[in-house]
Every structure is written in structure tokens, then in C-alpha cells.
Amino acid sequence: MPLPTVIVPGYLESAIAYQTLETSLKQLGFPTVTVPLRRRDWLPTVGCRPVTPILQKLDQTVKQILQAYPATQINLIGHSAGGWISRIYLGEKPYTPRNQAQPSVWNAHPLIATLITLGTPHISQERWTRWNLDFVANNYPGAFYKNVRYVCVAGKTIFGERRPGSWLAYSSYQLTCGQGNTWGDGITPIASAHLEGAENLIIEGVRHSPRSPGIWYGSPEPLNIWAKYLI
């Protein structure tokens, strides 16, 4: 039987946006749930504050699905910020951001068979995400846990340029990897969506968000490419 699967939404996104992806994975045979986030659940994390509230909801969801199915491990799918949040969740180092009195440790890597990240900025120059991403990069560089299969999916859709239609992509890529004139999914450049040691994929034509017009990572065609890495 395929392993249960948990979807971690992207920054400021709610679980509702992933219902179609969740249904598609269920149709492929994977029992799937999305961390039940609402947009307002992200508010305590705004302004470089800890993502602990999101990690707590992720942990609750993982424990619930493991109780519901006869499995000792799950697949984890992190979209955008959900990818690097998932990497914190896997880790055994105390997570102690500013303004957080008590350290938190989840040490969940034994529970995760495969981690798939979709358009995740694994590096960033943005000051409001820099602390968290530096924490991940310094403590868990690359495909850190050898017992976990890391699959990092990037989109090659929009080339960032300083002209109408490409300006948002240019600015986002510049803030993320330090170079605006590069390829990405319109928000995350390929250069920051991949990890050393992971199985790194590039899918052409996919846009970053489930709310984007056209095809995104969870649309049927891209899904068929990366879903085969699930266990």
C-alpha cells in the first residue's frame, strides 16, 4: 500500500488551495491530507517571527495520519515555504529563533520516507526569511538525512527581465538568489529551488502557485512527473 502523504502549504496560503492536488494524489492511491492551515494562521509568523505555529500544526497532522493508517512513515510534500519548513521539522537541532523563549525540536526524519519540495526557495536574500533559511542551511545542508529521499522540483517558465511581464519574476529572483536575469517559475528561481544531493527536477511551463493562471506544480501533467518519486 502506498504511504500516507501530507501536503504543507506555502507561505500565507490556506489548505483550501491544495484540495485539487490532494484529490489527485488520492486517485493515485496515496492517502493524503493537507495541513489544515488558514491564511490567518500565518499572521504570527509575519515579520521574521518564528514559524513554530506552522510546525506545530504540521506535527499534529503527521501524528494523526500515522494513527489513521497502518504505517510507520509518510511522504511529505512542501510547496514553496512549506518545503523549508518541512526541513526544519525533520531536524534534531533546537529551533530557537528570536522572541521564542523555549527551543523546539521535532526530530521527525525517521517518520519521513520522501520529502518532495515544489518551488521551494531553499536559499534567500530576503531579510524576513533569512534567519529561518540560514538556520536550515547551516544545520541541515543539502539532502541532509540519508534515510530520507529528497526530491526538489523547480519550474522553468519565466525568464526574469526588467520589462513588462517579467518584472515581478526579475525582482523575486533577485531577492531570492541575488540574480534577476535567470529562469524560474515566476517567483522562485531554479538556482534556489534545488539542493545538493537531492534528486533535482526541472519542469517547463509550470507556475509557482496553485492560484496562478494556467499550469502549476500540482496540475495533472507536472504531477505525473514528480509523483512517481512517492513511495
3: amino acid identity, one letter: L
Sequence spans of domains, the chain: 5-155+188-229
Class for the domain spanning 5-155+188-229 = alpha beta
The reported pTM is: 0.96
C-alpha cell at 105: 525540536
Query: What are the residue ranges of helices labelled H in 9-148?
Result: 19-27, 52-68, 81-90, 130-139
Q: pLDDT tens-digit profile of 178-205?
A: 999 999 999 999 999 999 999 999 999 9
Question: What is d(CA 160, CA 208) in angstroms, rounded to the nearest whole number?
Answer: 14
Percent of the chain with pLDDT strictly greater than 70:
98
- Closest C-alpha to 118, from 42, 193, 38, 26: 193
Query: Residue 202 contacts by C-beta under 8 Å, 6 or more apart in sequence?
Result: 153, 154, 155, 156, 190
pLDDT beyond 70 at 68? yes
